[in-house]
Amino acid sequence: MSKNKTVDDFFRSFSVVIISGASSGIGRAILSRIGNSGTSASVFNLSRTPPEGVPNSLKFTHLTCDLSQPAALSSVVSELQKLMPREGKMLLINNSGFGAYGEFPAPALDHTLKMIDVNVRAPVELTGRLWEELKARGGMVATVASLAGFQPTPLMTTYAATKSFMLDWSVALDAEAKRHGIRCVAICPGPVSTNFSKAAGFASSTGLSGQTAEECADEAIWGMAKHRPVVITGWRHKILGFVSARLPKPWAAAIGLRVIQRLKLDRFVKKA
Ligand SMILES: NC(=O)c1ccc[n+]([C@@H]2O[C@H](COP(=O)([O-])OP(=O)(O)OC[C@H]3O[C@@H](n4cnc5c(N)ncnc54)[C@H](OP(=O)(O)O)[C@@H]3O)[C@@H](O)[C@H]2O)c1
């Protein structure tokens, strides 16, 4: 069977797809692939701004939601529960997230706490609020973690730790939830050329853009279709992830600090 057909069949096997952060970057590229699959699923996006150019052929609804706000998340889940079909398998893609660069707590403690809310609390809460339904219907929870989740990362301390949390959480949940007919996939991209670096406080590209959003999305989706618990996108990133996960954590942190300092990322940081 061709790769395209496997992916089309994968998306066609769900009656509901819920994705966060499809307004930009990796999430937008995943949404495009869903749009090309010919699925009849009802597709919902949660983010602060709507994605542009969604094809009319898709049964698509954008629900505006700032995932850093627990009240907004809880009301968007009530809306979802009213709008989504009651039967058939469900695919939840926890993708929204952002990073920050600099010595802790740069750029500001409030910003750091908001990052924990969007990167960790929101996906755990969204999954938790849909869990009984997922258990009853079966399906998949795919979570966009990061290559940064494989080791403690100085100068991106909190961001990398949010992604370590999501990586371990997703892998453990997969082991626990298989018997309920739910598979969980942790997607771990290395650097990808998106709005991520702008949101992380850089004024211009850092030159670390290893993959395009489309390349990353294609690998992520293939891993989802194949039910791989962990998908590291990009072959160089696979090697990096394999090595760094095996280093003692203090060594990985010390090496990480040296590598990041050598990249001289400070020169790209947006001036306040
Ligand atoms: N690009 C990379 O190098 C890279 C590497 C590893 C992992 N990742 C992860 O990949 C995921 C997608 O990032 P990306 O690279 O595609 O970056 P992006 O282009 O900046 O997209 C981020 C998405 O997250 C959404 N988002 C951010 N804050 C939100 C909030 N408060 N409430 C709701 N949605 C919010 C944004 O939507 P709105 O602004 O419309 O709300 C946007 O759709 C993130 O989890 C990121 O950590 C990225």
Q: Domains of the chain: which residue ranges?
A: 3-268
From the CA of 195, how far away is ligand 1's center (Å)? 8
Cβ pair 89, 135 in contact under 8 A? no
36-78 pLDDT, tens digit per residue, is 999 999 999 999 999 999 999 999 999 999 999 999 999 999 9
3-26 pLDDT, tens digit per residue, is 999 999 999 999 999 999 999 999
122-154 pLDDT, tens digit per residue, is 999 999 999 999 999 999 999 999 999 999 999
Flag the least confident range among 203-212, 227-236, 256-265.
Answer: 203-212
Full DSSP string of 31-88:
HHHHHTTT---EEEEEESSPPS---TTSEEEEEE--TT-HHHHHHHHHHHHHHS-SSS
From the CA of 97, how far away is ligand 1's center (Å)? 4
Atom 41 in ligand 1: residue holding the nearest Cα = 48
Structure tokens at 50: 């709507």
CATH number, domain 3-268: 3.40.50.720
- Structure-model confidence comparison of residues 272 and 35, the more confident one: 35
Q: Is the CB of 94 under 6 A from ligand 1?
A: no
172-189 pLDDT, tens digit per residue, is 999 999 999 999 999 999
Q: Is the CB of 23 under 6 A from ligand 1?
A: yes
Closest atom of ligand 1 to CA, residue 117:
31
76-86 pLDDT, tens digit per residue, is 999 999 999 99
83-114 pLDDT, tens digit per residue, is 999 999 999 999 999 999 999 999 999 999 99
From the CA of 189, how far away is ligand 1's center (Å)? 12
pLDDT higher than threshold 80 for residue 205: no
pLDDT higher than threshold 80 for residue 272: no
From the CA of 222, how far away is ligand 1's center (Å)? 20
| pLDDT attached to residue 209 | 61
What mean pLDDT is predicted for residues 161-168? 98
| pLDDT attached to residue 81 | 96
Q: Would you tell me the crossing angle of helices 122-137 and 70-83 to the nearest 10 degrees?
A: 20
Q: Is the CB of 206 under 6 A from ligand 1?
A: no
Q: Which of 151, 185, 194, 231 to mutate to test the pocket of ligand 1 (most atoms within 8 A of CB)?
A: 194
For residue 13, what are the CA distances in angstroms to 39, 65, 82, 179?
8, 27, 21, 19
